[in-house]
Copies of this chain bind each other. A is one copy, B any other.
Amino acid sequence: MERKEPAWVKTVSLSPPSLKDNTADADRLTDALKSQLNAERIILDLDLLRSLPDLVRKWNYQVRCVLLKNRKHWELIHLTHPRDPAKLLGLAVDLGTSRIVLHLVDLTTGNTLAESSFNNPQLSIGPDILERIHYADQENGLTRLNQLIIESLNQEIEKICDSGNCHASDILLIAAAGNTTMTHLFMGLKPYWIIREPYIPVVNRPDLLKATKLGIEVHPLARTFIFPNVGSYFGGDLIAGILFSGMHKTTQTAMLVDVGTNAEVVLGNANWLIACAGAAGPALEGGVTQMGMMAGPGVIDRFAIAPDTSNFEFHTISGTKPIGICGSGLIDLAAQLFLAGMIDSRGKLVPAMCGSRIKEKTGLPYFVVVPAKDSATGTDLTISQADLDSLVRSKAAMYTILETITTSVGISMHDLKNFYVAGTFGSFIRPESAITIGMLPDLPVASYKGLGNSSIGGATMVLTSAEYLKEVDNIRDQVTYFELNVNQEFMNRFSAAKFLPHTNATLFPSVHVWQNRNRRD
């Protein structure tokens, strides 16, 4: 990540007052900062004003300042001696529906000092956003949801600061990215209208808020930047993701896909950005199969069938016996079963090829991926025909969304030089597998770039420079939200995509090559 100016920490040397220049202390300081930052206006908190005259004299008119940009003006929130050893910290927060991720950043150097994450305690209210929105409508529901997130965040801040050998009160800037509902719950804003036509958030572009106002226990003057949203279904986490990818700064058109509960897709370049979201996720996240689960210890994230021995080879995240499979493992599995001929182009199990691994329960066939003796659970880890059907529908939905959005702006998916895949999913997915099942287009494998958690990535970036904050606003203004219209044309594309890799095999020439190689081996 490139470090940009202006950073949030500035050291200024003031010319001492004289009879010829009897400008007041505060105005002397802000004038000096204004010319250094080329800023029009700098606001000082009253608390700082009260300590200022003694400090500037004690420090002999050398002052290190922490200033935050609040769109058009700057806010001066902290003063130290230029050689004060205390750290000046920022905290990036990814407000995930399931998991909250924190990065503790040194504002002076821009370096990340510590990372941590914890389960979103709102999971106890409801695992998905919809349940939480309904809960928020109950008496004290919103307050409770808000408290859950704020209190757990305060506890985690204590921990991460302990681990980084610093203090919560050294945190001066928080940057938080989340989907629109999560940021609403974080601010204690009613999410009621987000899910009701015409789907209106309370706010698109929150102002810089005092952290204490949100109940966050950090420096009393710390500010919180909350990533803006484009609407109810395109949140600040995606804006952070775009920032992190850098796709908004190049002339080459790129695609960004974030697979979560929904598949969220952004297409664009420095001149335009178009986004859409659609239901494609659950199966891809491993959410629907018996053995599916989120990435974690004991979870299969990579899977292969040895072409010579037909042995099943897999890798679990912790290296231990498997307890289940995550999205990337599942896509590997489906791709490998397809290349091995164990499922056909409709995604149906081929009994002749599956041998004893195929079983039947109440008339429905299922497939043993890991027999009981090799699993950590002591039971077979299986995938049913219904799971496979669901996976095929999901991958078809994903491909259709990608095809629809590219077609809408008259470009071909095959012309994309950069295809960013965000999220945990994106970090683990093997593009070959996703191409094999026809979920992602048949681009050179090097075009695919896993971004990891791009939401925390973007949030961490804004802690390093005011320039990124401006970029965030520009991205927010540039994104056009494209309403996916599930019409006949969409359904036609969807039907064509419900084959492995696709009805039109010429779209996936690589898959043909891989199939032949598999057969040859």
Residues of A within 8 A of B (CB): 17-19, 21-27, 40-41, 43-44, 46, 49-50, 52-54, 71-73, 187-190, 192-193, 197-207, 209, 213-214, 229, 231-232
A41 to B71, CA, bound (A): 9
In the complex where A72-B40, A232-B22 touch, is A53 in contact with B204 (Cβ < 8 A)?
A: no
Cβ of A30 to closest chain B Cβ, rounded Å: 9
Cβ–Cβ < 8 Å partners of A193 in chain B? 25, 53
Are B72 and A204 closer than 8 Å at their CB atoms?
no
Say whether chain A's binding surface is mostly helix, strand, loop, or mixed: loop
In the complex where A41-B71, A200-B17 touch, is A205 in contact with B27 (Cβ < 8 A)?
A: yes
Most chain B beta-carbon contacts within 10 A, residue among A41, A54, A71, A198:
A198
Cβ–Cβ < 8 Å partners of A197 in chain B? 19
Are A207 and B43 closer than 8 Å at their CB atoms?
yes
Which 9 A-B pairs have CB atoms at the shortest separation, nearest pair first?
A26-B203, A24-B201, A24-B204, A27-B204, A19-B198, A17-B200, A24-B203, A43-B207, A22-B198
Cβ–Cβ < 8 Å partners of A43 in chain B? 207
Cβ–Cβ < 8 Å partners of A18 in chain B? 198
A215 to B52, CA, bound (A): 20
Cβ–Cβ < 8 Å partners of A26 in chain B? 202-205
5 contacts between A and B (CB under 8 A): A17-B200, A18-B198, A46-B187, A53-B192, A53-B193
Q: Among the listed B27, B54, B200, which residue makes an inter-chain contact with A24, where contact means beta carbons less than 8 Å apart?
A: B200
A44 to B207, CA, bound (A): 7
Cβ of A278 to closest chain B Cβ, rounded Å: 17
In the complex where A72-B41, A73-B73 touch, is A50 in contact with B190 (Cβ < 8 A)?
A: yes
Cβ of A211 to closest chain B Cβ, rounded Å: 11
Given A25-B203, A26-B204, A73-B73; 12 other pairs, CB 8 A cutoff: A17-B200, A21-B198, A22-B198, A24-B229, A24-B231, A27-B204, A43-B207, A46-B209, A46-B213, A50-B187, A50-B190, A53-B190
